[in-house]
Structure 1
Amino acid sequence: MAKSTQWPVRLIVTEEDGTTRARVELDTGTRSLTGHGRARCNPEDPDVPVIGDELAAGRAMKDLAGQLIRLADHDLAGVGAAPPGHERRTLYGWADELA
């Protein structure tokens, strides 16, 4: 049986003082999630606003995608279908500083 679902997504991009911020809002009908992204123009680079928009928006969508994957992992575990285990990396050097 085929099923089609639409989830509205809203992307807001703002720029101020060389920093571009993006917020992407997703409404699944049962949950609302918000992703955030930011980009800053290096003072030595040419000012091309569309690049900041693209970077900030892409980072916001990546943040949202990570939230969706974590939510799906949590929901899978809740029904007894735990996702594959994540390999834990060994930290070297200043591990206490990273904790």
Structure 2
Amino acid sequence: MPHTVEWKVRLYLFEDEGTTKARVVLDAGAASLTGRGVARCNPADTDVPEIGDELAAGRALHDLAQQLVSAAERDIEGVGATAPSTRQFVGWPT
């Protein structure tokens, strides 16, 4: 059974005096999730707004990704199945 959906994502960036805040909103039709991220420039470093944008956006997307995985795990358990382990391994598994 084919299944195709379109989810819309909007990313908002706000910068003020060395602090960049990001908000990413996922519109999945029936549900909506919001991820948030912040980046602060060290006062001793050169202020490069693009780096703050990248860090804050990446952190907001990471927050959103964690929310999506958590929602999927709850849904899996809700249908009586066992959610797979989301633990990530670095290097060779033992």
Report the TM-score, using the length of structure 2 for normalisation.
0.86
Query: Match for residue 41 of structure 1?
Result: 41
Matched, 1:74 2:92: no
- The structure number with the bigger radius of gyration is 1
Residue ranges of structure 1 left out of the alignment (5+ in a row):
88-99
Supply the RMSD in Å over aligned alpha carbons: 1.5
CA distance in 2, matches of 1:59, 1:6: 23
Change in Cα spacing, 1:63 to 1:86, as seen in structure 2 (3 Å) is closer
Q: CA deviation at 1:4?
A: 2.2
Residue ranges of structure 2 left out of the alignment (5+ in a row):
88-94
Matched, 1:54 2:48: no
Paired residue type of 1:17: E
- The number of residue pairs the alignment matches comes to 87
CA distance in 2, matches of 1:46, 1:85: 41
CA distance in 2, matches of 1:86, 1:4: 25
Consecutive aligned runs of 4 or more in structure 1 exceeding 3 Å deviation: 84-87
Query: Match for residue 90 of structure 2?
Result: none
Sequence identity of aligned pairs in percent? Answer: 59
What's the CA shift string for 1:68-89, capped at 9, x where partnerless?
00000000000011213578xx
CA distance in 2, matches of 1:2, 1:31: 21
